[in-house]
Chain A
Amino acid sequence: SAVISQKPSRDICQRGTSLTIQCQVDSQVTMMFWYRQQPGQSLTLIATANQGSEATYESGFVIDKFPISRPNLTFSTLTVSNLSPEDSSIYLCSVVLANTDTQYFGPGTRLTVL
């Protein structure tokens, strides 16, 4: 398995500001993903974080709003920019271990935008 940490675990932000979420994993991983989970809903994939290159975004998500970095194999950041109350959600980092298709999730970051 993998131990995944996310920082911060929760935050309350003002409209128009930005929040950067960090994801760190303790194992060799191939893939890293960022998901959004709105209260009581399923998981929606935001993007695949690619090491050393631009992330691959899903339909409906754009780099200007959700810039992502992945400088090495075990660390990634997601920034949620120009926050609005509609961005209030849980943001989850996930990883796929090397040589497997097994996906593990971090504990999530609960964002509230006022």
Chain B
Amino acid sequence: QQQVKQSPQSLIVQKGGIPIINCAYENTAFDYFPWYQQFPGKGPALLIAIRPDVSEKKEGRFTISFNKSAKQFSLHIMDSQPGDSATYFCAAHITSGTYKYIFGTGTRLKVLA
């Protein structure tokens, strides 16, 4: 119930393409959904986040789409660039009975020049 399922495991797109990474959850107590970008040898960096009362959020080239009824959310990267090649993690935050973040398994994105 506290899992966050992330797909795909890896993704290759051409420069300018729009990679989409999907996450799904079961626990309706999750109340905040961040996405992190991680480059090799670095800690994860917060990219964008959304709360379940919002269906879409955009920040620059990054968009989160949120479907509360389906318990799914996704990250879209517009006009992807080779510099976006990294591993992306979705996460879900819970405060009910505890305070923690549950992470997805990660998606390794490669954007070809």
Contacts and interface: CB of A to CB of B under 8 A. Distances in A.
Nearest to B6: A42
B49 interface: yes
Given A101-B32, A103-B34, A103-B101, A42 B43 contact: no
A103 B105 contact: no
B96 to A, nearest CB: 13
A107 B101 contact: no
B45 A105 contact: yes
Interface residues of B, number: 21
A contact patch SS: strand
Contacts, number: 43
B100 interface: yes
B46 interface: yes
B104 A42 contact: yes
Interface in B87-105: 89, 91, 93, 99-101, 103-105
B101 A106 contact: no
Given A45-B101, A101-B32, A101-B93, A108 B106 contact: no
A4 B41 CA distance: 15
Interface centre among A33, A101, A104, A106 (most CB of B within 10 A): A101
Interface residues of A, number: 18
A42 B46 contact: no
A92 interface: yes
Contact of B43 (A41, A45, A101, A105): A105
B42 interface: yes
Interface of B: 31-32, 34, 36, 41-46, 49, 89, 91, 93, 99-101, 103-106
Q: Which 10 A-B pairs have the closest CB atoms?
A: A105-B43, A101-B32, A43-B103, A105-B44, A107-B43, A108-B43, A42-B105, A42-B103, A42-B106, A106-B43
